[in-house]
Amino acid sequence: MTVATTLFRFEGSYAREVPGLSVPWTAAVAPAPELLVLNEELAAELGADPAALRDPAGVALLAGQAPDGVPTVAQAYAGHQFGMYSPRLGDGRALLLGEVIDTGGRRRDLHLKGSGRTPFARGGDGKAAVGPMLREYLMGEAMGGLGIPTTRALAVVATGEQVFREMPLPGAVLARVAASHLRVGTFQYAAASGDRDLLRGLADYAIARHYPEAADASNRYLDLCRRVAEAQASLVARWMLVGFIHGVMNTDNTTISGETIDYGPCAFMDAYDPGTVFSSIDERGRYAYGNQPQILQWNLARLAETLLPLIDENGEAAVEAATDVLSGFAESYERHWAQGMAAKLGLAAPDPELTADILKLMRLQKVDFTLFFRALSAGTARALFAEPEPFDAWSARREGLLSADRAAMDGVNPVYIPRNHLVEEALEQATGGDMEPFHRLVDVVSRPFGERAGLEDYARPAPVGSAPHVTYCGT
């Protein structure tokens, strides 16, 4: 038995069952791997011994040095990036180490980022820096703590070499766990190949892995499309309810499973404004906070296009059926959003007018999104408004519609989110070698609903007068 199989019992169903959508490849050697952070809870969930992962052999595996007998592959996919189609993207600096059956019986991918150039690399060095890899770890734990479906990082390993961006930075490899790495872009790649059997094999694999109930549907491929749309409607509604902005909602970053993936230029909104954009590369605001539901529907339309030949041999009938599914996305999203907002506001039932009115008032008076809902349950929200009289009128309307007590509202309204200025401070210190602020922040945001003494600074937005926050696509 190899070292790797004593840590994980790897399987390779994707490469085996859908040949043509990945290529065998090996990671670049990390000259001096050093474990920066290990997610022991997730390791145990995967059935691994955290202590063994901290040993040299475990750290080497997490850095990509899989022993003989453990095939690693780079996955192929295409995608629309900021609306522009790229026919060949793929894992340019990433590798699928293998699949693990976790302690709950679920099949999950163990995947690397920053492990070196692959055949899908497009001019980059295939490496990653410590800061962006730690950001993905942090954001995954924050989203998991908020109850939002997400990929999660198992570990970040410093490689012992420098990567060159605007300046030399310490290199790192991220080990990430996902329900799978099947994306809308994976289907786009398969469809563009013109190989109907490849496309059907991918769809059947996705059904078996994520939506086995669809196998019994009268039209399994239409049902797959419908189930992905429902999963994504629920996901983006949850994003919106906590003020999360993904920042780069390309089709290659839209999963079939309904998990959040690729925490690059992501951030959480401070003052409520649907036009909020943090990403340095989103110059036109395509992926602004308020645009996320419509962008998700657009991405799903690209998925539906790939499935048309499988849905019905009659092209018109296939388009009609797929259009019906896409039309249902908006209704599903609105249902998830309305129900979530009712819970956040403590209402007995959704009230679209009351919700729209308070959001408009928050936008006009630049009220912090996270602070407002928490203060609402505490009875202190009035103090957040520079001109409180309109809030008083709204609050009087709300009184007769209440059903939830403070504890119920606090159970859905976080007190702690990854405040942008705190994230940047922690990552800067970690890049310089001080990991303590990072570990502290991870602990805070992974338990976001219970207020804890001594953590007041973690609940506050950036100081007034701070420069606008900008994020970069470093992952």
| Nearest CA-CA partner of 355 in 371, 373, 375, 341 | 341
Which of 91, 109, 204, 252 is an active site residue? 252
d(CA 11, CA 97): 9
Residue whose entry in the numeric block shows the structure tokens 């070698």: 433
| Annotation marks residue 223 as catalytic | no
| Nearest CA-CA partner of 129 in 152, 159, 154 | 159
Which ranges constitute the DSSP H helices of 211-314?
220-242, 292-311
d(CA 379, CA 376): 5
d(CA 272, CA 464): 15
Provide CB contacts within 8 A for 249, sequence distance 6+. Answer: 287, 292, 295, 296, 299
d(CA 173, CA 157): 5
d(CA 204, CA 94): 25
**Orientation angle between helical segments 292-311 and 184-192, nearest 10 degrees:** 40
Q: Show contacts of 280-287: CB within 8 Å, 24+ apart.
A: 280/470, 280/471, 280/472, 280/473, 281/82, 281/248, 281/472, 281/473, 282/82, 282/247, 282/248, 286/82, 286/83, 287/245, 287/246, 287/247, 287/248, 287/249
d(CA 241, CA 134): 24
8 A C-beta contact, residue 438 and residue 427: yes
Provide CB contacts within 8 A for 405, sequence distance 6+. Answer: 346
Q: Encode burial over 81-92: b for 16+ CB neighbours within 10 A, e otherwise.
A: beeeebeebbbb
Active site residues: 252
